[in-house]
Amino acid sequence: MQHIFEKGRAAIVLWLIFIISCGIIISRSQFTTDLSAFLPRDPTLAQQLLLEQIHDGLASRLILVGIEGSDPITHAALSKQIAQTLRENSAFVSVNNGEPVTAERDQAYLFNNRYLLSPTVTPERFEVEGLHAAISDSIDLLASPAGLMVKSLLPRDPTGEMMQLLTQLNSGNRPQTVDNTWVSDDKSRALLLIQTKASGDNTDAQQVAMSAIQHAFDHATSRTPESKLLMTGPGVFSVTARDTIKSQVSRLAIISIVLIASLLLLVYRSFSALLLGFLPVISGAVAGIAAVSLGFGSVHGITLGFGTALIGEAVDYSIYLFVQSEKNNVEEQQNWTKRFWPTIRLGVLTSIFGFSSLLLSGFPGLAQLGLYSIAGLVVAATVTRFVLPHLLPNKFRVQDLSAIGLTLASLVKHATKLRWPAVLLLIIASVILVQHRTEIWNDNISSLSPVSQAEVDLDTSLRADMGAPDVRYIVVVSGASQQSVLETSEQVAVQLQTLVDKGVLAGFESPSRYLPSAAMQRARQSSLPDPITLKTKLAQASQGLPVNDELFKPFIVDVNTAREQALLEDDSLDQTSMAMAVDALLIKQKDHWTALLPLTAPEGIDIDTIQVNSVLVAAHLSGVLFVDMKVESDNLYSGYLNEAIVLSVSGLIAIIGLLLWVFRSPMHVFRIITPLAAAVITTTAGLAVFGQQLIILHLVGLLLVVAVGSNYALFFNRTDNLILPRTLASMLFANLTTVVGFGVLAFANVAVLQAMGVTVAPGVILALIYSAIFARNTHV
């Protein structure tokens, strides 16, 4: 006796130490809610680019703002006031609302450096014929309304390099304006494009930026009660996603704990039993979080949400202990340990085998769920087995459930009569699955996103207003140095220009447009003739044109200055709006540089990717990759979906292997697997009937159905062919807690949590019923 108590004390001490260390790990853990958990660990080069853009590309740092609800004049005033406030805030790199705040600096940069920037600066252009043609064009332009501006430039820029640069920069759609501020086409909305200093995956900083924008709006003097502020963008999405996940997870946790606690209280009629029953659950949850934190460095909010559902599963073990051990004395407990523990242990093992396949997933989110489940279930079961019995008070006893058990027993006796109807139902379910086989999977990556459809719609609408379509096609240039990627970009730009001329592309962007490579700048400088040569050539070039070559003296001076001027570098662009473009298109990573050249499709038609590819391939440039972001992201997701399917199937095979190894009887294993397979098929068919397309998390749910259901099947197919009424009662309550835990998830607004909820809750009920129906003729 003494020996047992000592053993018990040791177990309790070990358990306490374990819980405290888990607590310490958790207190140091990082919790995330961004979408990175749903993106791969080992991406391809193109996927890497996609991920970098999602994490900290310029796109991730943009917040699109709309102001609506009042009249256009009020919106314009609000836009200016908000922009003014935010421009003084160092959290924002730039605040664009159409006001020409940087226009002067931009023009100065372009004008002063026109001979280094303009692609038309070539040796031929500064020969007599080239000069003649260029000056002739400028004279033509003089006669147009643009002449108002060109006229003053002509003496300094007769070849029209400035016009060339301005035209290049102005290509692309830009919003309409009211009072110098951007508005949507129907003028009902004022628009601002704000770039934050912090990257999009810094959710805290994005939240601060959002409240700064809200604050600026709230305190704008022109604000009317009708005016409304709208915000969208990747950063905004991550903030709202975090808020949603946070509030959902905490609310769901509270609801499921309250529901399960009330259910248990109803069954046990004892507070101490309730509290003790939760000990394995809490231990499991704590261990799960600590394990994920150790294994992954951070814990995702979704994993926590999933954890609340697992409460309903882990509480089963204590239910089995309390309800199945009828009289609570030491002998009876030992009896339980002998009679029931092996079955439960096998149930835990099947779950572990099932979930271990998730650990291999290249999808950190799935791997986290797998690790969380394994750690949580092992600890919950271990605590139930080795710690809980020692904590039970001497006269511990839960309500007598034999009455319920007996009722259940008589039901179970008749359950086998339902075999044929069940088989019929299974056939119908299989037919449904076959019919729906093509549309059963949702292979759109956005199906995983915690962002609501309303938010996506707002984003689409604001983007359309801005004339800023999603960047879909990008030519990516990578190289070892900034200069090498700029040089390659210039070569790519030459190829792309041929496609623009052919009408395959409407246009493209390139960082080399704003910051040419040093080699290119030097080449342009060397195209410029010395003052004496230029003067002679000008005199010849002016023949036949209605100008006096004396007019161009300032031109000769400027060209000479350009010949000797210092080359442009990164910081030459400071304070201009072009700095933002270069920042977005020219990215420095640890040891290499990347230049992005986004392509614009001609209006109304898609880009002919084959032509783009063939032109780029023909140019034999190294480090150049043409990426279709949409195809990449879809591939990314469908790749992971396929992987998850393979992993789930291998999890299933592992479970079957385990059962075969334990029972060494294929027939017996078949009996255990049949109700589980039936539950999976029926649940999936049910989801298909209700129009739910399956995402990865449905698959995880099905795996859970197998894991949880295996306990029932094992109890119904015990080798001793004996199932006690109280065992039946314990299974019913264990089942109810699981249904509650996951059923609550079914009401979540977060797609991934909802998917698991709608799969597991009906799935485990079906697993229990099928287990009873397909059980071997049992002696109850």
3-state secondary structure (DSSP) of residue 182: strand
3-state secondary structure (DSSP) of residue 594: strand
CB of 257 to other proteins, least distance (A): 58
Among 166, 261, 282, 621, binds other proteins (CB under 8 A): 166
Q: How far apart are CA 60 and CA 654, in angstroms?
A: 42
Nearer to other proteins, 174 or 269 (CB): 174
CB of 141 to other proteins, least distance (A): 7
Residues 739/764, Cβ–Cβ less than 8 Å: yes
How many positions of this chain bind other proteins (CB under 8 A)?
34
Residues 195/580, Cβ–Cβ less than 8 Å: yes
CB of 160 to other proteins, least distance (A): 9
Residue numbers 172-211 binding other proteins by CB under 8 A: 174, 176-177, 180
Binding of other proteins at residue 225 (CB under 8 A)? no
Among 163, 267, 291, 596, binds other proteins (CB under 8 A): 163
Residues 512/490, Cβ–Cβ less than 8 Å: yes
In 3D, which of 162, 247, 195 has the Cα closest to residue 90? 195
Nearer to other proteins, 542 or 684 (CB): 542
Task: Give the chain's length.
Answer: 780
CB of 522 to other proteins, least distance (A): 27
3-state secondary structure (DSSP) of residue 472: coil
Q: How far apart are CA 88 and CA 106, in angstroms?
A: 20
Binding of other proteins at residue 418 (CB under 8 A)? no
Q: How far apart are CA 461 and CA 434, in angstroms?
A: 38
Q: Which amino acid belongs to residue 609? A: T
Among 27, 170, 394, 438, binds other proteins (CB under 8 A): 170
Stretch that binds other proteins, among 165-173, 462-470, 614-622, 648-656 (CB under 8 A): 165-173
| Structure tokens that stand for 123 in this block | 């040796």
Binding of other proteins at residue 691 (CB under 8 A)? no
Nearer to other proteins, 17 or 149 (CB): 149
CB of 80 to other proteins, least distance (A): 15
Nearer to other proteins, 168 or 444 (CB): 168
CB of 182 to other proteins, least distance (A): 9
What contacts 24+ positions apart, CB below 8 Å, involve 388-395?
A: 388/276, 388/279, 388/280, 388/318, 388/321, 389/8, 389/321, 389/333, 389/337, 390/5, 390/8, 390/9, 390/11, 390/12, 391/12, 391/276, 391/279, 392/276, 392/328, 392/333, 393/272, 395/328
Binding of other proteins at residue 629 (CB under 8 A)? no
CB of 486 to other proteins, least distance (A): 26
Site string for other proteins, 540-559 (x = CB under 8 A): ------xxx--x--------
Q: At what angle do helices 364-382 and 696-716 cross, to 10 degrees?
A: 20
Stretch that binds other proteins, among 10-18, 145-153, 298-306, 750-758 (CB under 8 A): 145-153
Among 7, 151, 269, 502, binds other proteins (CB under 8 A): 151
Q: How far apart are CA 696 and CA 687, in angstroms?
A: 14
Nearer to other proteins, 143 or 566 (CB): 143
Residues 97/191, Cβ–Cβ less than 8 Å: yes
Pairing mode of beta strands 92-96, 62-68: unpaired
Binding of other proteins at residue 529 (CB under 8 A)? no
Binding of other proteins at residue 572 (CB under 8 A)? no
Q: How far apart are CA 162 and CA 109, in angstroms?
A: 10
CB contact set of 642 (below 8 Å; sequence gap of 6+): none
CB of 67 to other proteins, least distance (A): 18
Binding of other proteins at residue 344 (CB under 8 A)? no
CB of 234 to other proteins, least distance (A): 27
Stretch that binds other proteins, among 5-13, 163-171, 307-315, 641-649 (CB under 8 A): 163-171
3-state secondary structure (DSSP) of residue 529: coil
**Number of other residues whose CB lies within 10 A of the CB of residue 428:** 12
Q: Which amino acid belongs to residue 207? A: Q
Pairing mode of beta strands 298-300, 228-232: unpaired
**Number of other residues whose CB lies within 10 A of the CB of residue 157:** 24
Token pair 């949507």 in the structure block, residue = 184
Among 148, 532, 566, 610, binds other proteins (CB under 8 A): 148
Among 21, 44, 122, 171, binds other proteins (CB under 8 A): 171
Stretch that binds other proteins, among 23-31, 160-168, 465-473, 612-620 (CB under 8 A): 160-168
CB of 547 to other proteins, least distance (A): 6
Binding of other proteins at residue 500 (CB under 8 A)? no
Nearer to other proteins, 146 or 427 (CB): 146
Nearer to other proteins, 186 or 564 (CB): 186
Residues 398/267, Cβ–Cβ less than 8 Å: yes
Nearer to other proteins, 546 or 691 (CB): 546
Residues 701/756, Cβ–Cβ less than 8 Å: yes
Nearer to other proteins, 2 or 144 (CB): 144
Stretch that binds other proteins, among 12-20, 138-146, 240-248, 738-746 (CB under 8 A): 138-146
Q: Which amino acid belongs to residue 632? A: E
Give the burial class of 168: count Cβ atoms within 10 A of its Cβ; 0-12 exposed, 13-18 middle, 19 or more buried: middle
Site string for other proteins, 82-121 (x = CB under 8 A): ----------------x-x--x------------------
Residue 411: alpha-carbon gap to chain centroid: 48
Among 108, 149, 494, 722, binds other proteins (CB under 8 A): 149
Binding of other proteins at residue 143 (CB under 8 A)? yes
CB of 148 to other proteins, least distance (A): 5
Q: Which residues bind other proteins (CB under 8 A)?
A: 98, 100, 103, 129, 133, 136-137, 139-149, 151, 154-155, 163, 166-167, 170-171, 174, 176-177, 180, 546-548, 551
